[in-house]
Chains A and B, each alone.
Chain A
């Protein structure tokens, strides 16, 4: 049996979590997932500004902080902290923790290869819209293929203490130690799928151990000290999800089921670079306090195509807010919205979309929101987006004047006028597996 923990569900997750996983009890592997879809484009911009950047900058100081314990307790780290510059990340880790051996997995970054791939006839059509990539070719900011667990397992095979990758399937971070330690082969579809299911359960950190959990949330203990999840994996593919004793949160079949269903499509065909997992084959059972056992997972062979994640510039946006209070708070906010729209129109500004929300009434739930007549306060939130940055900028100067020129009682403008933000949109596509060549390097 091996113990694989996840101490980071996204870049910006709780900084204490990985340290507590290392200190709070036995684990063999610490996985850390840093990369969201938008993160790659931010990192690409950072690398363009400075060739030594482009990775998750929280990662090297974290490894410095836990390096001694990693060595003493023989814990290996598997992280996609490399972003678009895994080698620079590895060098920063070695600076912070010179005694550790660090390996990187390369080959996911296809930004420089886009012209070559298009020339070869790969259209890289958007999975959602069907449009060919050529439509946005001159606006691409980053492009990466999702790589699987096998190159990560190969990197573990070098004996490195820290494995750093760029874009990989999130659950592959958790599957890789199982492949390496149990010797699972590409044709072991059921076992690989079991590892992916276990990985999917823990890849969002505390979201399976009581965080963001609806099930009986008022009674989930000590969220302030929530325990991050650990998978106890067996060579036959069965596993237990648990957390360190004495930590907060809860792990039971309900908290685990909520995470199992999080951000999935067809549960019979969960596509990954290593296999196609069937979530409907999983059997889950409560196996003691804060322990859930999973087994029976079945799956199919890996797909011929890998998913690519491409980001591109898609215009500008800004959102501004004002608060209106009782009496008639909603009516005042609605009047302010009408005034703003009329002024934008009179200025001749054109946007792709203007979107208004009444916070405290229906901002999040829209038509499904429960009616609330005459609430004590309402926040008006108007957002615009479009390709003309000057129009978006002008909009940001149209909200605060309402305080003196619109309906009565406007407040809540203390943060100043809203910021104009670049829209970096996301283009999911498919690329034949044989076009992606991964390689492992030990960085000295």
Chain B
């Protein structure tokens, strides 16, 4: 079934120049495998569409049941150059919570 990412994770986002970073943290260690399978760089890139001009890198932190996503050229030039309201990408993590993921109902209950 399809559920929003918010069902299994919470996020926080910020900036490094023109790169936005989104930390994605599983609500429980047993959801980490779902994050690995569903929150792929390709899916994240397509979710944000033209907003992310560059690529998306993904780093894994199994010890924290978390992922770190780097969205390149995602902030309209970044920091002080950007004309965006959210020039530092502080709300991009919240946006990602709405991304739909595919899960088996059994994965969510145990």
Contact = CB atoms under 8 A, between A and B. Distances in A.
Interface of A: 37-38, 128, 212-215, 254, 257-268, 279-284, 314, 317, 319, 353, 355, 357, 359, 363-370, 381, 383-385, 423-426, 428
Instruction: Identify which of B17, B27, B80, B84 gathers the most chain A CB atoms within 10 Å of its CB.
Output: B80
Given A212-B12, A258-B10, A265-B70, A383 B79 contact: no
Given A266-B59, A280-B63, A368 B12 contact: no
25 contacts: A128-B17, A214-B11, A214-B94, A257-B23, A257-B64, A258-B10, A259-B12, A260-B64, A264-B21, A282-B64, A283-B63, A284-B64, A363-B84, A363-B85, A364-B91, A365-B92, A365-B95, A366-B49, A366-B95, A368-B47, A368-B51, A368-B95, A368-B99, A425-B81, A426-B78
A255 B94 CA distance: 15
Given A319-B83, A381-B85, A263 B48 contact: no
Contacts of A263: 14-16, 21
Nearest to B82: A355
Interface of B: 10-12, 14-19, 21, 23-25, 27, 47-51, 59-64, 66, 68, 70, 76-81, 83-86, 90-99
A377 to B, nearest CB: 16
Question: Nearest 8 CB-CB pairs, A to B?
Answer: A261-B23, A383-B83, A367-B49, A355-B83, A366-B51, A263-B14, A365-B95, A258-B12
What is the interface of chain B mostly: helix, strand, loop, or mixed?
mixed
Instruction: Identify which of A258, A357, A368 gathers the most chain B CB atoms within 10 Å of its CB.
Output: A368
A264 B60 CA distance: 13
Contacts of B11: 214, 258
A38 B92 CA distance: 22
Contacts of A319: 83
Instruction: Identify which of B25, B78, B97 gathers the most chain A CB atoms within 10 Å of its CB.
Output: B25
A360 to B, nearest CB: 11
Contacts of A423: 80-81
Given A254-B25, A266-B59, A368 B64 contact: no
Given A265-B70, A281-B63, A364-B95, A385 B81 contact: yes
A349 to B, nearest CB: 15
Contacts of A281: 63
Contacts of A366: 48-51, 95
Contact of A355 (B23, B76, B94, B97): B76
A234 to B, nearest CB: 19
Given A254-B10, A385-B83, A426-B17, A365 B91 contact: yes
Contacts of A363: 84-86
A355 B51 CA distance: 12
Instruction: Identify which of B14, B19, B70 gathers the most chain A CB atoms within 10 Å of its CB.
Output: B14
Instruction: Identify which of B47, B86, B97 gathers the most chain A CB atoms within 10 Å of its CB.
Output: B86
B63 A282 contact: yes
A383 B79 CA distance: 15
Contacts of B90: 212
Contacts of B49: 366-368
A257 B25 contact: yes
Nearest to B6: A214
Given A261-B23, A425-B80, A268 B16 contact: no
Nearest to A216: B10
Nearest to A258: B12
B99 to A, nearest CB: 8
Contact of A367 (B50, B59, B96): B50
A279 B76 CA distance: 29
A363 B91 CA distance: 10
Given A214-B10, A214-B93, A258 B98 contact: no
Contact of B48 (A214, A265, A353, A368): A368
Nearest to B69: A261
A257 B80 contact: no
B16 A426 contact: no
A426 B85 CA distance: 18
A262 B66 CA distance: 12
A426 B66 CA distance: 30
Contacts of A426: 17, 78-80
B79 A425 contact: yes
A102 to B, nearest CB: 32
A370 B98 contact: yes
Contacts of B63: 280-284
Contacts of A260: 23, 64, 66
A262 B14 contact: yes
Contacts of A384: 83
A254 B65 CA distance: 11
A257 B98 contact: no
Nearest to A268: B59
A26 to B, nearest CB: 29
Nearest to B17: A128
A263 B16 CA distance: 6
Contacts of A359: 85
